[in-house]
Amino acid sequence: MVFLILHMRTIQKHRHGFSLVELSIVLVILGLLTGGILGGQSLIRAAELRSVGTQFAQYRTAVYTFRDKYFALPGDMQNATAFWQSAGGNGGNAACMSAQTTAQATCNGTGDGLVTGLPDDAWAERFLAWKHLANAGLVEGSYLGRTNGAVNSYEAVAGTNVPTARVGSGFFDIAYNFASPTLFHAQSSTNRNAVNMYGTQGLLNGTLTPEEAWNVDTKLDDGLPYRGMLYTMLFSFINCPVSDAADATYNLQLRTKNCTMFYAF
């Protein structure tokens, strides 16, 4: 017994650390774990990008279906209260907008074919659009139908008054995009209604890298930032494309998530 105890102490005395073989095994295991984590993250991101394309197509189809059924665009529909009751006011002013909750009662748009605003609430129809679509059963969820802030302000909260994008921390918006020399290339965005995807920080923040935006654009449209139905903002504004030229391409070497996207209808 005494011999065994002395032998064990001798072994413990001479083992000061891991052997090279043991260290190699540990390093291999760590490498496999790291590779698995990184590979898993890539798969998750790829799934998110596929879902972005699915959401764009889903919301665009919902708008067309709504127009075919009600002969108006969601948000711009001037007789919405005839179908879903008035939330308040005169049914089509800022007082009505302020009275809205997540219940079906809603407000009317102007009926001018542009998803913009009411005379006393410049952003109104962009929020009404999601409420009208939800009331019609064409999108999931329930929405406030108004800004989350003061009347005549644009305060979007994903999941509350606009849908959440399934990538990053973005959200979707429906709006009439005016041709602007500082925001959009005239060739791609001359006065068109569109489904838009922004980042959580606001209307000028993106959720996709240029490569990811190119991926979505290629699957849904033509893969070019200023042409076709799917487009982005000008290079001079957020640097998603390589330049402001009409035939510019996406800035594929840039890794910043700075691309916003707009799908015209």
What pLDDT does residue 3 have?
Answer: 44
pTM, two decimal places = 0.81
pLDDT at 15: 52
SS3 content of the chain, % helix, strand, coil (to 5): 40, 10, 50
| CA–CA distance, 188 with 225 (Å, rounded to integer) | 8
> What pLDDT, on a 0 to 100 scale, did the predictor assign at position 177?
87
21 phi and psi, to 5 degrees?
A: -65, -45
Can you list the alpha helix ranges (DSSP code H) found in 94-149? 94-99, 124-135
191: which DSSP letter? Answer: T
Cα-based distances in Å from 158 to 39, 143, 197, 198, 256: 29, 10, 11, 10, 22
Per-residue model confidence (pLDDT) at position 6: 44
Cα 136 from Cα 134, distance rounded (Å): 5
In sign, the C-alpha dihedral spanning 107, 113, 118, 119 is: negative
Give the model's pLDDT for residue 5: 46
Instruction: Strands of the chain (E only): list them.
Output: 171-177, 192-198, 230-231, 261-264
Question: DSSP character for 199?
Answer: B
**DSSP tag of 111:** -
pLDDT per residue as tens, the chain (265 positions): 544 444 445 545 555 566 777 677 777 777 677 666 655 666 766 777 788 999 999 999 999 999 999 999 999 999 999 999 999 999 999 999 999 999 999 999 999 999 999 999 999 999 999 999 999 999 999 999 999 999 999 999 999 999 999 887 899 999 998 767 778 887 776 689 999 999 876 777 899 999 999 999 999 999 999 999 999 999 988 889 999 999 999 999 999 999 999 999 9
Residue 17 amino acid letter: G
Sign for the pseudo-dihedral over CA of 42, 220, 227, 263:
negative
Domain borders along the chain are 56-154, 164-265
Task: Compute the distance between CA of residue 8 and CA of residue 12 in angstroms, rounded to an integer.
Answer: 6
